[in-house]
Structure 1
Amino acid sequence: MTSPEALLATLGPLLAAESRAEAPAAGVEPGDLEQAVWVRLLERLRDDGAPERPADWLRRAVRAEARRARRSSARELRYRPGGEPGSPESPEGSVLGAEHRRGIRDAVSRTPGPCPRVLAAMLDPADPTYREIAGTLGISQGSLGPTRSRCLGCLRRMLAAEVPLPGVRGRVP
């Protein structure tokens, strides 16, 4: 039986070559692939002893680890740190965007007549077509456009009345 140290010394160059060959296709660093195979080999030595044909076992292990790395990298999401405070990618930007959307939905619910239903249908995340919206609301497709325009005008006037005009800056009355 070969000692683990001798086995590790003889397989080192082969593992390095196999890892360099398989790593680019797996999207990992060759050193990471080598390390994973070394761990697998040491676990095997502890549990079952040395493989009968170590070089063949090593090649199969490198390919198996490369497949595992490809599968896991396909499911992983890259970390994208937030941008400047207030940008849409930052946590503050997300909260501000959600607050903005909530304010718009609240204003939509206060519009008169059929406007809340029409505007809510237009804001639907599923992005329905005019035909689908008209069918849902029970109105003709031809009247949907003018109704939408009147409702948006009403919403614009409501929001403009709620937002104070910018004051004169730098002037003391």
Structure 2
Amino acid sequence: MTHELLTTLRPLLTAEASAEAHASGAERGDLEQTVWLRLLERLETTGPPADPQRWVRRAVRSEARRCRRRARVEQPYAVEPADDRGSGPEQRALAAAGRRELLAAVRRLPGRCPGLVAALLSPHDLTYREIAGELGISQGNLGPERSRCLGCLRRLLTPEVAAR
């Protein structure tokens, strides 16, 4: 039942995500992936929706609205806080030491994580599409992979931060 449902909904979800992606400022693959996750969570908790096609349309539109709200609220820093040149030499030395520790921890990550996190930290501000192309992985897998890698990085850095 679940496999048939997912197979049936795939073309609809792809079409809906494609239609909503541009206006929401989100990537089509990101919208699709989020809706798939929401559907799988729903299947685990309450079972399949009564009208799956209607549920997919509403879920895509809901996620697109969430992306538009997030884009309106989130404002990028004019200057990265760690790169603020207005600070004194002590702060710059501490920031440089922090960057060195971070890069050392990134190099200790397993698998493809060092390349992925390095691309995310790149001063060139690469898009997901560029990072996925550079690493040779699908753009849809980039979010979950990023999440796993950042979780590993967090676990690596926690003992070092706690020791201070």
The alignment's TM-score, normalised by the length of structure 1, stands at 0.47
Which of the pair has the greater relative contact order for Cα pairs under 8 Å at 6+ separation? 2
Decide which structure has greater helix share. 2
Structure 1 or 2, whichever has the larger Rg, is 1
